[in-house]
Amino acid sequence: MAQLLTGHLLRFVADPFTAPIKAAVVHDTHGAIRIEDGRIAAAGPVDTVDRTDAEHIDLGDRLLIPGFVDAHMHYPQTGIIAAWGKRLIDWLNTYTFPEEMRFGDPTYARKQADLTLDLALAHGTTTLTSFCTIHPASVDAWFEAAAARNMATVAGKTCMDRNAPDGLRDTPQSAYDDSAALLAKWHGTGRARYAITPRFTPTSTPDQLEALGALWAANPSCAMQTHLSEQRDEIAWVRDLHPEASDYLQTYEQHGLIGPGALFGHAIHLEPRERDLLRETGSAVVHCPTSNTFIGSGLFDAARTITDGITTGLATDTGGGSSFSMLRTMAAAYEIGQLSGTALHPAQLLWLATEGSARALRMQDRTGTLAPGSDADIIALDLSSTPAIAQRSGRAENIWEAIFPTIMMGDDRAIADVWVAGERVARTPEGN
């Protein structure tokens, strides 16, 4: 049977970074979404949406929006989130690499995949993009867990053939072979999309980057995800490893790892040539604000990057990021925007967390929007989820004043309901 969700409705009809906010967003105070066969059949004012043969679910004053889209995270780091006191290189050596060694065990990998996906759903995130480990079993565990929940996801085997511990290194050939086999198994299966995944230049030799570039050239519908210019000491390391390169991005460019579908996490400290090339090639960068502050990476200038025409997504980057919540991630993006001189509007923050990230993933036709034909990944926000938020939103004179306190102070308690591909799901993770 079809479902009819009614409540407040927020729909984007244009990019709020390029169009005036009033022209980019439609707020239906009495709105409805009709779901048929897991997809959105219609969305708009309640009197314009067909009610025929539909189960009616009245959400009252809840705000219906697309489920959040997390464009960069590491499910193998769920267990080490909020680990104290390290910057990037020390973080990898002290926390990340020892934890990733455990993911050769398929049972452990599946346990962590289940936990991560349930935590994401509890926080209203319905689409995730994750790095796995070098172990093919970690990739299978992730996609199997996502399929069990019918969640859209992008992920891939992390490839490293240098500057990593024994047991976490592969080779150019095994990276190619494993990635090719996993790609053939998972890409386009259900809601799964594969991402060719070199961790970053310091842990992949030119031969490995060349092999992965060749694999991507043969499979251009896949994504390619990696890291770029996260910290200045990382950039210095790349310069030492590759003195022949004009900049960090060139170490990817010369191996074909740039273009539509490329996802560069962080990209904080970019040279002018890198900014121009990212824009010209249609590559995407992903803003990870809680991670950037937690491990001391720097301040990403989202407003400038987007104004420059570079496709930009938003992400938790757990576990370097310190929260599973895209609400907290939006709040951090706002705070960093203030420090960078631009206060991002609540509409811009919500767009980055939904359709903007979906566009970075080249998935905006299926997720991140309430457009007819999109998969019905939907959340209902409670804009009065705590006493502190309720007293502030109660003073609101417009929808943005009502939403902004939830962006800044909200957590999983603000997620009143979640639908994944039209199925209403439980919000509480099962835990360990």
Per-residue pLDDT tens over the stretch 129-176: 999 999 999 999 999 999 999 999 999 999 999 999 999 999 999 999
The residues, any chain, with a CB within 8 Å of residue 211's CB and separated by 6 or more, are 172, 173, 175, 176
Question: What DSSP state is assigned to residue 92?
Answer: I
Closest alpha carbon to 287 in 258, 265, 309: 265
pLDDT in tens, 180-238: 999 999 999 999 999 999 999 999 999 999 999 999 999 999 999 999 999 999 999 99
Question: Which pLDDT value is given to residue 85?
Answer: 85
Question: What DSSP state is assigned to residue 363?
Answer: -
Question: Which pLDDT value is given to residue 430?
Answer: 41
Question: Which pLDDT value is given to residue 130?
Answer: 98
pLDDT in tens, 229-274: 999 999 999 999 999 999 999 999 999 999 999 999 999 999 999 9
pLDDT in tens, 335-385: 999 999 999 999 999 999 999 999 999 999 999 999 999 999 999 999 999
Are the beta carbons of 329 and 293 closer than 8 angstroms? Answer: no
Q: Is the pLDDT of residue 333 over 70?
A: yes
In order, the DSSP letters of 270-328 are --HHHHHHHHHHT-EEEE-HHHHHHTT-----HHHHHHTT-EEEE---TTTSS-S-HHH
Q: Which CATH class is domain 2-66+370-425?
A: mainly beta
215 vs 356: CA distance, rounded Å: 27
Enter the pTM of the model: 0.97
Q: Is the pLDDT of residue 428 over 50?
A: no
Q: How confident is the model at residue 429 (pLDDT cuts 50, 70, 90)?
A: very low
Q: How confident is the model at residue 86 (pLDDT cuts 50, 70, 90)?
A: confident
Closest alpha carbon to 97 in 139, 142, 158: 158
Closest alpha carbon to 367 in 416, 295, 422, 417: 422
Question: Which pLDDT value is given to residue 150?
Answer: 98
Q: Is the pLDDT of residue 432 over 90?
A: no
Question: Which pLDDT value is given to residue 91?
Answer: 86
Find the mean pLDDT for residues 314-324. 96
Give the start-to-end residue ranges of the domains of the chain: 2-66+370-425, 68-360
Q: Which CATH class is domain 68-360?
A: alpha beta
Q: Mean pLDDT in the chain?
A: 96
Q: How confident is the model at residue 88 (pLDDT cuts 50, 70, 90)?
A: confident
pLDDT in tens, 33-57: 999 999 999 999 999 999 999 999 9
Find the mean pLDDT for residues 290-309. 95
Question: Which pLDDT value is given to residue 427?
Answer: 52
366 vs 369: CA distance, rounded Å: 8
Q: How confident is the model at residue 309 (pLDDT cuts 50, 70, 90)?
A: very high
Are the beta carbons of 248 and 229 closer than 8 angstroms? Answer: yes
244 vs 223: CA distance, rounded Å: 27
Q: How confident is the model at residue 425 (pLDDT cuts 50, 70, 90)?
A: very high
